[in-house]
Amino acid sequence: MIDFTVHANIAKAKTIHTDFYTSAEVFELCKEKIFAPSWQFIGSTELVNERESVYPFILLKNHLDEPLALTKDKSGSIHLVSNVCTHRGNIVTEKPCSIPKLRCRYHGRTFAHDGKFSSMPEFKEVENFPSKNDNLTKLPLFQWGNLLFTTLNEKYKAEIFFADMMKRVNWMPLNEFVFRPELSKEFHVKANWALYCENYLEGFHVPFVHAELNALIDYEGYTTELFFPYSSLQIGIAKKDEGCFDLPESSPEYGKKVAAYYFWVFPNMMFNFYPWGLSVNIVKPVSVDECKVSFLSYVWDESKLNKGAGANLHKVEMEDEEIVENVQRGVRSRFYNQGRYSVTREQGTHHFHRIIAEFLK
C-alpha cells in the first residue's frame, strides 16, 4: 500500500496520493482504521421522545453497516445498544416502537432498555447462563444539547473531537434547536467521501464555483482555524449587515459581521451554524467513488430562514457536487498523482490529509 504520509510543513507538502480515492482496498481499510474508532452522528434526542421507546438504525449504512438501537427506559435515561440478539444474531427490533422490553422475535429472548439480558425460554438446562456475554453490547453516548454521537471503538474520547466547537458557540441555546425533517435532504454524490470533505474544508474555490455565495461573503475576510487534533473552523464574514449573527460580547468574533460558522469534525461531519440555526452535514461512504451526504436542518430562529449565506444551500450543494464529481474523474488519470497546497487557503485540507495519514498507520 502507498505511504500516505503528508509533510507537516504545508509549504513543502504534497497532497495525499490519489490511491486514497481510487483504491477499493484502501476504502475497505478506512472502515476499521478511520470510521470505527471515530465518533459518528446519530441524530437528536427527539428520536426517543417517549419513555420505553426504541429507535433502531444502521450506523453508516453501506459502510460500517452496524445495527444499533437507541432507547429510553422508564426513568427517562437514554441508552445505545447493539441491535443484534446475543442468542443467534437476529436483529432484535426492526422498526421504531414503544415497548416495555426488547424482545427478539426469533426465539423470544428479552432485554431491558439498557441492553441487560432479561429472560429466555427453554434455557433452564444451559450451564453458566446467563453471563455478561448474554447482554446486548452497550455503546458510549456523547450528548451535546439535543445532539447524540457514538463510536464503535472508544479509542478516542469525544471531547478531543467536539470540545473546541462546543466552547466557540457555547452562547447558542442548542437545546432549543428543533429538527425539521421537511427542510432536510440527502444527496447522492459520485465521488469519494474524502473529496467531498476536502472541498468543504477550503474557501479557496468560493469565487470560482459559487457566484451567489461569493456575492454575500467577504472572500478576503474568510478565515480558517485549525483545532488540533481533529477539527477545524471556517468563518464566513458577510459583505452586508443582513443575515448576520447578533453576537454576544463573550464571542471572539464580537463586532464582526459573521454570516456563518463552518465547523468540521473528523472524519465526515460538518456543523454549519447560521443565524437561523444549524445544518448538520454527514458524509456517508458508499463505495470508493461514491458517497451520500445528509443535510439535517435544526431551526433556531424561523424568521431568519432563507437569508444570507444559509439561504440557498441546495444551489451551493449542486455546484459543489459538480466539482467534486469532476475531481473524482480526474484523479483516475495516469497523469495525476499528487498536487500542492495553497499555504494561505488550503490549511484545512492539509490538516485533513495529515489526520487521514495518522489514522491509516
CA torsion, points 42, 46, 52, 54, in degrees to nearest 10?
Answer: -40
315 C-beta neighbours (distance < 10 Å), count = 13
User: 280 forms bridges with which residues in the sheet?
Assistant: 271, 296
Does residue 267 contact residue 145 with C-beta atoms inside 8 Å? Answer: no
Q: 145 with 249, same domain? A: no
Q: Are residues 291 and 354 in the same domain?
A: yes
Q: Domain containing 225: what range?
A: 177-360
The Cβ of residue 105 has, within 10 Å, a number of other Cβ atoms equal to 12
- In the chain, what is the straight-line distance between the N-terminal and C-terminal CA atoms, in Å? 11
DSSP 8-state class, residue 99: -
Give the side-chain half-sphere CA count within 13 A for 61.
7
Look up residue 190 and give its three cell numbers: 459520485
* 232 and 344 within one domain: yes
Same domain assignment for residues 290 and 350? yes
| Residue 145 and residue 185 in one domain | no
What is the per-residue pLDDT across 120-139, written as a single tens digit (0 to 9) for each?
Answer: 999 999 999 999 999 999 99
Q: Give the pLDDT confidence of 35-46 residue by residue, as tens digits.
A: 999 999 999 999
Residues 345 and 282 placed together within one structural domain of the fold:
yes
58 found inside a domain: yes
Q: What is the pLDDT of residue 151?
A: 98
Number of compact structural domains in the chain: 2
Calculate ∠ Cα 64-283-179, nearest 5°. Answer: 105
Asked if the model's pLDDT at residue 306 lies above 90, the reply is no
- Look at residue 309 in the predicted model and tell me its pLDDT: 84
Smallest CA-to-CA distance from 202 within 229, 230, 223, 188 is with 223
CA distances from 107 to 118, 120, 123, 336, 346 (A): 13, 8, 11, 56, 56
Other C-beta atoms lying within 10 Å of the C-beta of residue 136: 26
Could you tell me if 101 and 247 lie in one domain?
Answer: no
- Strand bridging mode 110-111 / 290-299: unpaired
Query: Do 106 and 207 fall within a single domain?
Result: no
Write out pLDDT tens, residues 182-204: 999 999 999 999 999 999 999 99
Strand partners, 150: 40
What is the predicted pLDDT for the residue at 32? 96
Domain identity same for 183 and 141: no
> In what order do the strands lie in the sheet containing 102-103?
102-103, 110-111, 117-119
pTM for this entry: 0.95
Q: Are residues 146 and 192 in the same domain?
A: no
pLDDT at residue 310 tops 90: no
Q: Does 135 lie in the same domain as 267?
A: no
Task: Write down the pLDDT at residue 27.
Answer: 97
| Average pLDDT of every residue of the chain | 96
- CATH number assigned to the domain comprising residue 55: 2.102.10.10
The predicted structure's pLDDT at residue 48 = 98
316 with 323: CB under 8 angstroms?
Answer: no
